[in-house]
Amino acid sequence: MTQDELKQAVARAAIGYVVDGAIIGVGTGSTANFFIDELAAIKDRIQGTVASSEATAERLKKHGVPVFDLNDVDSIAVYIDGADEIDAQGAMIKGGGAALTREKIVASVAKSFVCIADGSKLVDTLGKFALPVEVIPMARNAVLRELAALGGQPKVRTKPGSDEPFVTDNGGNLIDVAGLSITDPVALEARINQLTGVIAVGLFAARGANVCLLGTAEGVKTLS
């Protein structure tokens, strides 16, 4: 099976976690895009969605799936999203697709988090994938120095084909920290959250995934 087929398989399996009549939180990225396409087929069963990025909102709307502002909903039954890495405890690195802050906000409101990923995303220790951190632009270099002091190799993410810093949906910039071996994800998440100028860190450990649907050659495996 190709990686896309594995992503499609977990996206289809995630439909089993959609709560009828409820608001569903929807993540960002290629796996989430497969989920959106599956969700479109059952859109009449749900009240609507809250999107974790402008790209996701656009895709949902193209399918005719209602998208609500988070400020206009009282609760989200489930949040369904991919990950760049996930460990056996459900802690994740996210933000490869630049949407980590809104993903974290929507996930924090959701009653449960279902992570959908192809099997290559499961790791023993988080950190091989460079950890994304969203920052206020004026604090970019100050935070970069603080992150270097934590032992990683931080680098400002740039716009494709340019030397200019990448700008997120929130007007923030991103720093990707390579070379970390994250043995205590909850502690590192708290530590980076405390740096002045940080908007959000792409470690989802204090609030990790409740369920992970992993796409493998042997079928979809459920970790919970």
Catalytic residue IDs: 103
* For helices 30-40 and 3-14, angle between their N-to-C axes, nearest 10 degrees: 50
Helix (H) or strand (E) holding 212: strand 211-216
Q: Is 75 annotated as a binding residue?
A: no
Q: Is 146 in the site for ligand 5RP (CB under 6 A)?
A: no
Among 82, 127, 154, 172, binds ligand 5RP (CB under 6 A): 82
Q: Is 29 in the site for ligand 5RP (CB under 6 A)?
A: yes
| Cβ proximity to ligand 5RP, 67 vs 142, nearer residue | 67
Q: Is 8 in the site for ligand 5RP (CB under 6 A)?
A: no
| Cβ proximity to ligand 5RP, 8 vs 188, nearer residue | 8
Cα–Cα–Cα angle for 134, 82, 36, nearest 5°? Answer: 110
Among 15, 19, 30, 166, binds ligand 5RP (CB under 6 A): 30
Pull the structure tokens for residue 72: 């206009």
Instruction: State the pairing for strand pair 110-118/76-81.
Output: parallel
| Cβ proximity to ligand 5RP, 3 vs 125, nearer residue | 3
Q: Confirm if 59 and 28 have CB atoms less than 8 A apart.
A: no
C-alpha separations of 224 from 80, 95, 124, 205 in Å = 14, 22, 16, 14
Q: Is 28 in the site for ligand 5RP (CB under 6 A)?
A: yes
Q: CA dihedral in degrees (190, 131, 68, 112; nearest 10)? A: -60
Q: Is 100 in the site for ligand 5RP (CB under 6 A)?
A: yes
Candidates 36-44, 58-66, 76-84, 216-224 — which segment interacts with ligand 5RP by CB under 6 A?
Answer: 76-84
Q: Is 97 in the site for ligand 5RP (CB under 6 A)?
A: yes
Q: Is 85 in the site for ligand 5RP (CB under 6 A)?
A: no
Pull the structure tokens for residue 205: 């450990």
Candidates 8-16, 27-35, 56-64, 65-73 — which segment interacts with ligand 5RP by CB under 6 A?
Answer: 27-35
Rounded to whole angstroms, how far apart are CA atoms 219 and 152?
A: 36
Among 31, 49, 56, 173, binds ligand 5RP (CB under 6 A): 31
Number of residues that bind ligand 5RP (CB under 6 A): 18
- Those residues with Cβ within 8 angstroms of residue 174's Cβ, 6 or more apart along the chain or in another chain: 95, 98, 132, 133, 134, 135, 156, 157, 165, 166, 168
Residues making contact with ligand 5RP (CB under 6 A):
27-32, 81-84, 94-100, 103
